[in-house]
Structure 1
Amino acid sequence: MKRNATAVWKGSLKEGAGHLTTQSGILQNTQYSFKSRFEEGIGTNPEELVAAAHSGCFTMQLSAYITEGGFEIESIETKCDINLLEGRIVSSHLTVSAKIKGISNETFQELVSKAEENCPISKLFDTEISTEASLA
């Protein structure tokens, strides 16, 4: 399987702007700029997209492990905080809240750790990954 996205940029770093388009079309000429990345401008930015990718990938991996364990998922919500420091992503922190029928906290935490280690985006990162997970 291969997926792609395209970035187009025009102008200098601070005054220029770009747009992103994904293969699926869900992002279609989506704006990004220096202001949307480092200030409070309108549009997206690479770190926000990485956070979306990590939270989505992790949540799908966790749901696979929970389902394999024979548990019924009511909901899983994962927030990902990406920390960019001095030009490098230094950490990705996942905060998970889930409603799972019949699962113990111990089993849930084991599956969370397994998902953190094995989701493809986690494997891609060369940074600190941490997870805080709770059952509702």
Structure 2
Amino acid sequence: MSTYGTAVWSGGLKDGKGAISTKSGALKDYPYGFASRFEGKPGTNPEELIGAAHAGCFTMALSLILSEAKLTAEKMETQADVTLAKQDDGFAITAVHLTLKAKIPGVDDKTFQELAAKAKAGCPVSKVLNAKITLDAKLES
């Protein structure tokens, strides 16, 4: 399986403008730039998109692992906080922190934590990121 995303950029770093699109059309010429990445202005940025991809991938991986354990989630909500830090040689994504809130009937917390950790380690996006990836998993009743 293969898919893609595209980016178009015009101008310099601070005054330039870009647009991001995805094969599916979920994003179509969606704006991004220096201001949306570093100054909190409207638009997206690569770190936000990595966070969304990681949250989605991890949650789907956990769904698979739960089904293998004969469990089904009523609801799982994951947030992936991506840290972009300035280093001596430029910027780097240094960490991703996953926060999971899940309602899963019939599972105890010990098993839940083990299954969530397995999903964190096995999710394809976790594997591709060369960053420290942490997880807070909260089982809701």
The TM tier, using the shorter chain, reads over 0.9
Where 1:110 maps in the other structure, the secondary structure is: helix
Runs of 4+ in 1 over 6 A off after TM superposition: none
Shift of 1:67: 1.1
1:19 aligns with 2:1: no
Q: Which amino acid aligns with 1:37?
A: R
CA contact (8 A) 1:21 1:28 kept: yes
* Correspondence for 1:62: 62
2:136 alignment partner AA: E
1:73 is matched with 73
- 1:31-42 alignment runs, 5 A limit: 31-42=31-42
Identity %: 48
What's the TM-score once normalised by structure 2's chain length? 0.95
Which ranges in structure 1 are unaligned for 5 or more consecutive residues?
Answer: none
Look up the SS of the partner of 1:43 in the other structure.
coil
Q: In the alignment, is the contact (CA less than 8 A) between 1:62 and 1:115 conserved in 2?
A: yes
CA distance in 1, matches of 2:72, 2:53: 24
State the match for 2:101 in structure 1: 97
Count of aligned residue pairs for this structure pair: 136
User: How large is the RMSD of aligned CA atoms in angstroms?
Assistant: 0.6
Q: Deviations over 1:56-97 (max 9, x none)?
A: 000000011011111121000000100010100000000000
Deviation at 1:134, TM superposition (A): 0.9
Give the whole-Å Cα distance in 2 for the aligned partners of 1:90 and 1:111: 25
